[in-house]
Amino acid sequence: MVNWYEEVQRREEKLLHDMDGLLRIPSVKQMETSAEGAPMGKEIGRALEYMLDLSSRDGFRIANLEGYVGYAELGDSPSDDYIAVLGHLDVVAATGEWTSPPYEPKIREGRLYARGAIDDKGPMLAAYYGLKIVKELGLPLRHKIRFIFGTDEESGSRCMARYRETEKLPLAGFTPDADFPIVHAEKGQINTRVMLAKAETPAEWPADEQPAGYLRSFYGGGTANMVPESARAVIAGEAPVLEHLACAYRAYCEGRGRKGTAQIEAGQIVLAMEGKAAHGMEPHLGVNAALELIHFLAPQSLQPDAERFLACVDTLLFEDYGGVALGIAFADEISGALTINSGILQFEPLGESFFHINLRYPVTDEASRILEVISERVGKYGFVVEPPLLKKGHHVAKDHPMIRILQQIYQETTGEEPTLLSTGGGTYAYHIGNGVAFGPLFPGKTSLAHQADEYIEVEDLLLSAAMYARAIYEMANAEYR
């Protein structure tokens, strides 16, 4: 019987050496350096060549699909069926303050720090070494194994779209790009703008109908799939009105425990609100600065278009992460509850006024139902829903052979219950049919993916590699028909 962890330990030094080389490549997507053979830019092209060179060194069959995707393959089955392991070589930009340079890997107190350490170069190398162990032990394989190196996971997955155009999909597969135990379901997504239809606005209102203030602009957020951490409104009006607004706003912020400022200048007041950023799939973990500011503005006397905009957003979105007010709340046992985030909000009296919705819905729900209800609700305020970008949900049944294999491996390795998880995010598992995410983040651990000082714990890396090696071997010898 193979002791998988001992096999990983024997190769720890080589694993960390190869990982160091990959982590030093700043493989951020740069279309300005796109070229033949490197469609995502020069540095991502370098990272793909690095992995293909390692694969060639280690004796795998390799292929490069025009720089979009590469793969390493093991096994001699005459069938074109195969098992897939998928990782991605692209990383997000290394913004923020780092303790050590993001592309100069450093191990401190048992943690390996670098951009890509946990998303996804570190886990990918751990899984690659799992495949390398299976090869070096000469273990028999019923199905071929293909390790797929993607290049565009962080910004559209054009790599996997190209792969699906040219290659047969695997029998089953996993990606080491989420959480342990097993993420077997990914919610569907709806992304769209909800636009305020313009009404006839008189140049001047009758004296008895004039609004107390005039909303010149409102801006909140800037990234659709993030909770806005800032918002700003500019309101014109008479001095007594502006002074009253400033006083009321300060009291509002104090009462709600929020950080906001009010500054009067040149016949207008600038209201600013600070919130807390969070990923759009978990809006409850953040504080939506835009919705907080709108909740203050909604009761104020402003011009009609502004009042319609504010009333709609405040009524249908404020402190409602599950779509209850919109009438779209839904949950299932497979993937949990629907979530909704509004990450970009804008009001311009002479320009576009809209709020963007980034919605994650359970796998048993339907986008058509959701959009129909939303259109009806927002229509009462004079809004229309733009044609949306849709992504269907994805899940693998809990009785699938791969699920049973991964659950047994996780339970026997960790002694913990191999609970099936779902996510509002997306991974490469979505693109291959019978795909799941398997690690690398263990329950209770913190991930700094996409943040400064990103790291992976070295011990977790080694334990993951041992599970990946066993998973590759057992999945390659399972029956799927």
Q: Which CATH number fits domain 4-186+394-476: 3.40.50.300, 3.40.50.720, 2.40.30.10, 3.40.630.10?
A: 3.40.630.10
Give pLDDT tens digits for 127-137.
999 999 999 99
* Model pLDDT, residue 319: 96
* Model pLDDT, residue 201: 52
User: 18 an active-site residue?
Assistant: no
Q: How confident is the model at residue 225 (pLDDT cuts 50, 70, 90)?
A: confident
Is pLDDT of 290 > 70?
yes
Q: In whole angstroms, give the CA distance from residue 257 to residue 251.
A: 10
Give pLDDT tens digits for 314-339.
999 999 999 999 999 999 999 999 99
User: 314 an active-site residue?
Assistant: no
Give pLDDT tens digits for 89-129.
999 999 889 999 999 999 999 999 999 999 999 999 999 99
* Model pLDDT, residue 203: 46
- Residue 479 buriedness (CB in 10 A; 0-12 / 13-18 / 19+): exposed
Among the listed residues 206, 374, 178, 181, the one whose alpha carbon sits nearest the alpha carbon of residue 281: 178
* Model pLDDT, residue 425: 83
Give pLDDT tens digits for 183-205.
999 999 999 999 998 765 544 54
CB atoms < 10 A from the CB of 291, how many? 26
Query: Residues 220, 314: contact at Cβ < 8 Å?
Result: no
Among the listed residues 79, 18, 174, the one whose alpha carbon sits nearest the alpha carbon of residue 481: 79
Is pLDDT of 206 > 60?
no
For the chain, helix (H) and strand (E) counts, in that order, are: 11, 26
Is pLDDT of 293 > 60?
yes
Residue at 43: amino acid letter: E
Question: Average pLDDT for residues 161-178, to the nearest whole number?
Answer: 96
The one catalytic residue among 7, 18, 43, 90: 90
Among the listed residues 361, 467, 475, the one whose alpha carbon sits nearest the alpha carbon of residue 130: 467
Is pLDDT of 340 > 90?
yes
* Model pLDDT, residue 337: 95
Give, rounded to a whole angstrom, the gap between the first and last alpha carbons of the chain.
27
Q: In whole angstroms, give the CA distance from residue 306 to residue 104.
A: 50
The one catalytic residue among 120, 153, 314, 457: 153
Q: What are phi and psi of 290, to 5 degrees?
A: -65, -45
Question: Average pLDDT for residues 75-79, to the nearest whole number?
Answer: 95
* Model pLDDT, residue 481: 75
The model carries a pTM of 0.84
Question: Average pLDDT for residues 35-57, to the nearest whole number?
Answer: 97
Among the listed residues 157, 154, 68, the one whose alpha carbon sits nearest the alpha carbon of residue 119: 154
Is pLDDT of 287 > 60?
yes
Give pLDDT tens digits for 245-266.
999 999 999 999 999 999 999 8
* Model pLDDT, residue 117: 97
* Model pLDDT, residue 207: 47
* Model pLDDT, residue 96: 86
All structural domains of the chain with their residue ranges:
4-186+394-476, 188-391
- For the chain, give the number of residues: 481
Q: In whole angstroms, give the CA distance from residue 317 to residue 298.
A: 12
* Model pLDDT, residue 210: 58
Give the CA distances from residue 125 to residues 64, 342, 465, in Å, rounded to whole numbers and listed in that order: 18, 36, 8
Question: Average pLDDT for residues 80-93, to the nearest whole number?
Answer: 95
Q: In whole angstroms, give the CA distance from residue 242 to residue 248.
A: 10
Sign of the dihedral through C-alpha 171, 175, 179, 180? positive
* Model pLDDT, residue 450: 84
Q: Is 226 helix (H, G, I), strand (E, B) or coil?
A: strand
Q: In whole angstroms, give the CA distance from residue 249 to residue 269.
A: 11
* Model pLDDT, residue 1: 86
State the fold for domain 188-391: Alpha-Beta Plaits (3.30.70)
DSSP assignment of 391-425 equals E--EE--TTSHHHHHHHHHHHHHH-S---EEEESS
Query: What is the percentage of the chain residues whose pLDDT exceeds 70?
Result: 98
Mean pLDDT of the chain: 94
Give pLDDT tens digits for 170-183.
999 999 999 999 99
* Model pLDDT, residue 198: 75
Spell out a b/e string for 326-343, using b for 16 or more CB atoms within 10 Å of the CB, else e. Answer: bebeeebebbbbbbbbbb
* Model pLDDT, residue 148: 98
* Model pLDDT, residue 156: 82
Residue 182: which residues within 8 A CB-CB, separation 6 or more?
403, 406, 407, 410, 418, 419, 420, 421, 436, 437, 438
